[in-house]
Amino acid sequence: MGSLRVVAFSALFLLLLVDLEAALIGEKQWTTYKRQFNKTYAPEHDYYHRWIFSAVDKLVRKNNIEYAQGKVAYFLKVNEYSDTDRSAVYANPPSMPAESIQGTGSKPANYKYYHEIQGGIDWRESGFVSPVRHQGECNSCWAFSTAGLLETHMAKKTGRRVAMSPKHLLDCVEKNGGCDGGWVSHAINYTRDNGISSWESYSPYKPQNDVCVYNPRGNQVLPRGYVILEPNEKKMAEVVYNIGPVTVSLDHLYTEFYEYSRGILSIPDCRNGKGFLKHSMLVVGFGTDPEGRDYWLIKNSFGEKWGENGYVRLARNAGNMCGVASLPQYPVF
C-alpha cells in the first residue's frame, strides 16, 4: 500500500513539473529578454526569475488581446521590471508627521471651481516640469516626487525652473528611510528648515544611501509647510488647475502598473486605503481623452522608457483609483 502511495505521489509530482515547465517561456525568449535588459543571474536564481517573467509575459499578452478588442483602455509591454519580485521590496515607511495645513489652503485670485474648468491642464506646457528621472533599485520615489513638486512650485513663484536634487533628500532627510522609503511630508519639512540643493550642486544621483554632505545656502525660496487635501478628486483637480502639481501615493504593486506602456490605466483590484499606498508620484495635470475617459497625468521616476515617456494616465473620477486622491500634498510658501 505504501509503495502505491509513493508511486502515486511521484506521478503527481511529475505532472506538476510538466505543467510548470509548460508555463515557462522558451529559452530563446528568456535569453533575448535578459540580453535586452542586461540581466545576469546565478544558475540557482535564473529559474526563479524566468518563472516570474513567464507569468508576467502571459498577463501582458492577455491584456493586449483585450486592449485590441476594446475591453481595456491601456496597453502593456514587458520591461526591466518584468522578472522581478515586487512584493518583498517595500519596508514599512516611518510614521507620517501629524502637523500640516488641512483642507485646500488659501485660494488664489480668479480661482476656478470644478464646474468652471474646461479641458483640464498640463503643467508641462508651462516649462516648470523637469525631465523624467530614474530612481533605480532604490525606493526613493518619495525623494523624486518631492524634488519635482518643489521645483515646479518654486518655478511658478519665481518664473525660473531649477531642477532640485532627490539625492540630497535621500541622504539628508533623517526622518525618512532612504532607499527603504519615506514620506513627502517629512521631506518638505526638512526643506522648510534646511533648504534643498539643485540637481547640479549636489552629488550625482546614485540609488543608494550615502552620508549627507549638504552645506546650507541662503537666498532660497523655501516652503513654510504643506497641505494635505481631502480625499476628493474634484477638489484635487481644482488645486492642480489653480495652484499647481501635487504629489500622490498609489497602491501600485501590480503587473498593470509596472508593465504599463500607454493608454488610460485602470486596475480594478487596487486599493485606496493609506496603508496600501507605497509609491509616490507627481500629478502634473488632468484631462479627458477623445473617447470621454477622464484621466490624471502623472510623472513617474522609472525613466523615460517606462509608460508614455515616463508618464502614466490614470483613470480619474473612477472611485479614487489606486488611492490617487487619498494623500495628495503640495507645498505652501
Catalytic positions: 141, 279, 300
Cα three-residue angle 61-324-162, rounded to 5 degrees? 100
- CA dist 258 and 307 (Å) reads 9
Nearest to 93 by CA among 282, 275, 258: 275
How is residue 270 annotated by DSSP? Answer: -
Q: Which three cell numbers stand for residue 107?
A: 485660494
Which residue's entry shows cell 472611485?
Answer: 319
Q: Is the dihedral of CA 165, 159, 282, 310 positive or negative?
A: negative
Please, are residues 98 and 225 in contact by the beta-carbon 8 Å criterion?
no
The Cα–Cα gap between 77 and 302 comes to: 14
Q: Looking at this protein, which amino acid is placed at residue 135?
A: Q
- The runs of H, that is alpha helices, within 100-197 are 141-158, 166-172, 184-194
Q: What angle do CA 141, 286, 281 make, to 5 degrees?
A: 5
Q: Where does residue 171 fall: left (phi above 0), alpha (psi -120 to 50 degrees), or beta otherwise?
A: alpha
Alpha carbon 315 to chain centroid, angstroms: 15
Q: What is the 3-state secondary structure (H, E, C) of 180-239?
A: HCCCHHHHHHHHHHHCCCECCCCCCCCCCCCCCCCCCCCCCCCCCEEEECCCCHHHHHHH
